Structure 1
Amino acid sequence: MNALSSEPTLNDLLTSRPPLEVNARDGLLFEGVPLHVIAAVAGTPCWITGAGTLRRRANALKAAFEARNLPVHFHFAMKSQDHQATLTILRECGYGVDIVSGGEMTRALHAGIKPNGIVFSGVGKSDLELRAAVEHGIRQINVESVEELYRLNDIAQACGKIAPAALRVNPDVDAQTHDKISTGRAGDKFGIEHRRAVKLYAEAAALEHVELVGLAVHLGSQMLTAEPFRQGYSRLADMVREIRALGHTVKTVDCGGGLGIRYQDEIAPPPEMLAGVIAESLGDLGVELSIEPGRWLSAPTGILLSRVIETKAGNPDFVVIDAAMNDLARPALYDSWHGILPVAPAAFNDALKPWDVVGPVCESSDIFAKDRVLPASLKRGDLVALLDTGAYGSVMSSTYNSRPFAAQVLVDNGRWEIIRQRQSVQDLIAAETIPDWLLPAHG
């Protein structure tokens, strides 16, 4: 840790993230690609995704369950990162997807994900979205309410089909994470209250166009300890036994996601922890199991590359960069912490000082870091890399302040390519029309 703060040093950030390295000629590299080379061609701000990092994490997660001899279906929570390249890599690794909108279903199908590899979650599915899910024959619809269950039955009847569904249960378990990413407590908008779900499961047996295949749960995101998982899954296991005792069939249990990562100095659990808790809590039920990792897979694969616009002396001293809260919203939304590294090689041996790192958007919340210890020599034109931005980064971007969407780049063990061109202001304007009555009269 840094003597000037309780935060990780630059070296701590590097050593805990093996895809990153520094050499004396090129400075900071990600998967063997110098970041200054990407910036010179693609410009900044720029999202960079590491394909090799994503593959390694996807395979490590699968290996943790294989070591337990525990068959599990893996569905990537694509709300965390929905680019076609990401979906293609994970499809090749044997992953399906967990979707939360009709748009995500279209993206998944376009990336070659088979309908049988798609699970549809989300608290507010429209009629059109449910109809599309039924017509495509996706694997499972996780029903979030009594009302949605009966609406789904009517929609499936109109389609002349039977829709496979699971009841998403709200187990009233505190995920011990940030309030805004907790989803399994009483009072959260997600899921069906667990005491009501058992009765509803029995009622649903009378529905002719919905086949209830099991239960689903998602407790929250960025979970760092085993106990909330254990509590939630144990409650689900008790429900499975109770439903079966009433004479009904439970084929599947969808365990959701939530496994956390190290952003700052957290002790992030290995995937073996999650595999162990699921095996102990649910492994003896004879059900098909599935999980829906998002952040754990995608966050460490991403970097937001930015350039210093200006430094501003004062109290505090500011570094103003060309990335902003419209690009990376998490710090403004959740006060989230992201590591920041310089790119120039000399900067890693420079004297350090605290800076407030901010963006140019006209909002006081456009702050990436306060009192962050970084090289004292940072100056206009220098490059910096914001780390672990692969989850809920580019997908949450907006064009606030008429700031177009940033370019995206894929690096893959020494290779790189632009996978989304930088949007222009002209692109934004071209999507707008003016009603005829506002135009000046002609003739």
Structure 2
Amino acid sequence: MSAPLPSDPATDPSFRDMLDTRPSLTMDARDGLLFEGVPLHVIAAAVGTPCWITGAETLRHRAKALRAAFEARNLPVNLHFAMKSQDHQATLTILRQCGYGVDIVSGGEMQRALHAGIQPSGIVFSGVGKSDAELRAAIEHDIAQVNVESVEELYRLDEIARACGRVARAALRVNPDVDADTHDKISTGRAGDKFGIEHRRAVALYGEAARLKNVRLVGLAVHLGSQMLTAGPFREGYMRLADMVREIRAAGHTVEAVDCGGGLGIRYRDEIAPSPDMLAGVIAETLGDLDVRLSIEPGRWLSAPTGLLLTRVIETKAGNPDFVVLDAAMNDLARPSLYESWHGIMPVAPNGLTSPTKLWDIVGPVCESSDIFARDRALPADTKRGDLIALLDTGAYGAVMSSTYNSRPFAAQVLIDNGKWDIIRQRQSVADLIAAETVPEWLTAARNDHG
């Protein structure tokens, strides 16, 4: 489960602990907090705050480590990045260069992936509500696989493919009724969750699909949830999938592929995060002898540690509790308000590690009581207006979930790569927001008085 917003000062990691478990971060006696060797205060001075920062080398390192875990077991696997976690063109380009495809959940993500140079053969389309237009685009681009989420979607895909004069490759996404032992809002493989086809129904449906002329089923897919920290749920879900493969084959049908989904968790607070070796081992143990083409869809594990949200203190507010008010808010980083999620929060100033601390409630300026990043969290006791603060591990489900609520424009984004950095998304302005809106002519022509 995700940790609740209230912190426990007795068990929360210290600033030093957070540095020791995040190799991309260092504290310099003169420049303060550095990310991949670049002083964060330099970026803040040039770009302003709030600002999303992504570390390219951190992403490359994790992408290579995940691949190496499977190579060490001589277990071939196709790697598709779950781009719902981070969809920027720079991220997609880096992962394409590392040999990754993508797992998409919308037509918009398909367009982004193709624009980043990812080949259709490297695209898998998941998601419970694919529109006719999205399915048609997937068929016309001849993507690798559509993960079908319902009986109705299977027959709709067949109709659309027939109208296109094509045959669509697809897998049945199975709901195995396995509790991923994670936050309720990011668990996707239990009975009652909206995702996938009930596993007992999927075996019979596989046989029915063999009669379709414009869909070719290549196998099964599953995704159990996100931020999974133990082997048990993975093993249970994959064993159920393996049993289904054997049952389908015994009925005389071909199963070529198994899509294992994603879900591997990371350390945000004090979790014992699993290594890629654990996932590779469970997949080898449960599915390795089936003679199927294997694929996985990692998202958070790759992208979360590659990013941070740099923000500045607007004001401190004395009271009970005492507040630190940041210029970042829930419209920028929604996870704490959505999932009660815990993110490391560190001062950027060089004396941040040694200054006496006190407990603060750390909040944003949005006009909602839920605009809270942390309660009872340690920051320097002398934290003041203008101080820079870094929110850690925000590379997944951070910028992609941002909104412009309260007419707060999208924050700038910066990429660091081998000691250099550049803006990869300019800060939006309020003028940009207004420029996207129109007022009907009949309204502007109306009388302006009350007569």
Shorter-chain TM-score bucket reads over 0.9
Return the offset for 1:92.
0.2
> Is there any run of 5+ residues in structure 1 with no aligned partner, and where?
none
The one-letter code sitting in structure 1 at the alignment partner of 2:297 is E
| Alignment partner of 1:176 is 2:178 | no
Correspondent of 2:50 among 39, 45, 60: 45
Cα deviations across residues 297-338 of structure 1 (Å, max 9, x unaligned)?
000000000000000001100000000000000000000000
Return the offset for 1:103.
0.0
Q: Secondary structure at the match of 2:233?
A: helix
Aligned pairs for 1:318-329 within 5 A: 318-329=323-334
| Alignment partner of 1:349 is 2:362 | no
Residue number in structure 2 paired with 1:407: 412
Residue number in structure 1 paired with 2:295: 290
Correspondent of 1:55 among 54, 60, 71: 60
Aligned equivalents of 2:337, 2:11: Cα separation in 1: 21
| Alignment partner of 1:374 is 2:379 | yes
Return the offset for 1:347.
2.0
Return the offset for 1:440.
3.5
Aligned equivalents of 1:224, 1:430: Cα separation in 2: 45
Correspondent of 2:114 among 87, 109, 113: 109
Q: Secondary structure at the match of 2:210?
A: helix
The one-letter code sitting in structure 2 at the alignment partner of 1:349 is T
Residue number in structure 1 paired with 2:155: 150
Aligned equivalents of 2:109, 2:77: Cα separation in 1: 22
- The count of corresponding residues between Structure 1 and Structure 2 is 441
Q: Secondary structure at the match of 2:12?
A: coil
Return the offset for 1:348.
1.6
> What TM-score does the superposition give when structure 1 sets the normalisation length?
0.99
Aligned equivalents of 1:32, 1:207: Cα separation in 2: 56
Return the offset for 1:291.
0.1
Aligned equivalents of 1:43, 1:107: Cα separation in 2: 27
Residue number in structure 2 paired with 1:261: 266
CA 1:429–1:3: 2 relative to 1, 3 Å? closer
Cα deviations across residues 228-255 of structure 1 (Å, max 9, x unaligned)?
0000000000000000000000000000
The one-letter code sitting in structure 2 at the alignment partner of 1:264 is R
| Alignment partner of 1:434 is 2:439 | yes
> Is there any run of 5+ residues in structure 2 with no aligned partner, and where?
1-6
Task: Tell me if the contact between 2:265 and 2:301 (Cα under 8 Å) persists in the aligned partners.
Answer: yes
Q: Secondary structure at the match of 1:206?
A: coil
The one-letter code sitting in structure 2 at the alignment partner of 1:406 is A
Correspondent of 2:257 among 252, 256, 264: 252
Residue number in structure 2 paired with 1:118: 123
Residue number in structure 1 paired with 2:241: 236
Task: Tell me if the contact between 1:70 and 1:279 (Cα under 8 Å) persists in the aligned partners.
Answer: yes
Aligned equivalents of 2:232, 2:352: Cα separation in 1: 42
Aligned equivalents of 2:242, 2:142: Cα separation in 1: 27
Aligned equivalents of 2:331, 2:215: Cα separation in 1: 41
| Alignment partner of 1:73 is 2:93 | no
Q: Secondary structure at the match of 1:268?
A: coil
The percent identity for this pair of structures is 80
Return the offset for 1:437.
1.5
Task: Tell me if the contact between 2:258 and 2:293 (Cα under 8 Å) persists in the aligned partners.
Answer: yes
The one-letter code sitting in structure 2 at the alignment partner of 1:234 is M
| Alignment partner of 1:99 is 2:108 | no
Aligned equivalents of 2:418, 2:349: Cα separation in 1: 20
Task: Tell me if the contact between 1:33 and 1:413 (Cα under 8 Å) persists in the aligned partners.
Answer: no
Correspondent of 2:14 among 9, 13, 16: 9
Aligned equivalents of 1:304, 1:3: Cα separation in 2: 22
Aligned equivalents of 1:318, 1:80: Cα separation in 2: 30
Residue number in structure 2 paired with 1:133: 138
Aligned equivalents of 1:180, 1:327: Cα separation in 2: 19
Return the offset for 1:438.
1.2
Return the offset for 1:4.
4.2
Q: Secondary structure at the match of 2:268?
A: coil
| Alignment partner of 1:396 is 2:396 | no
Return the offset for 1:374.
1.1
Task: Tell me if the contact between 1:347 and 1:377 (Cα under 8 Å) persists in the aligned partners.
Answer: no
Q: Secondary structure at the match of 2:254?
A: coil
Task: Tell me if the contact between 2:9 and 2:376 (Cα under 8 Å) persists in the aligned partners.
Answer: no
| Alignment partner of 1:225 is 2:260 | no
Task: Tell me if the contact between 1:5 and 1:373 (Cα under 8 Å) persists in the aligned partners.
Answer: no
Return the offset for 1:3.
9.7
Aligned pairs for 1:74-89 within 5 A: 74-89=79-94
Aligned equivalents of 2:388, 2:154: Cα separation in 1: 51
Aligned pairs for 1:183-198 within 5 A: 183-198=188-203
Correspondent of 1:279 among 281, 284, 287: 284
Aligned equivalents of 2:28, 2:409: Cα separation in 1: 33
Return the offset for 1:441.
5.4
Correspondent of 1:214 among 219, 231, 236: 219
Superposition CA RMSD, Å: 1.0
Aligned equivalents of 1:212, 1:3: Cα separation in 2: 50
Residue number in structure 1 paired with 2:3: none
Q: Secondary structure at the match of 1:75?
A: strand
Return the offset for 1:5.
2.5
Q: Secondary structure at the match of 2:325?
A: strand
The one-letter code sitting in structure 2 at the alignment partner of 1:421 is Q
Aligned equivalents of 1:22, 1:373: Cα separation in 2: 17
The one-letter code sitting in structure 1 at the alignment partner of 2:57 is G
Return the offset for 1:283.
0.2
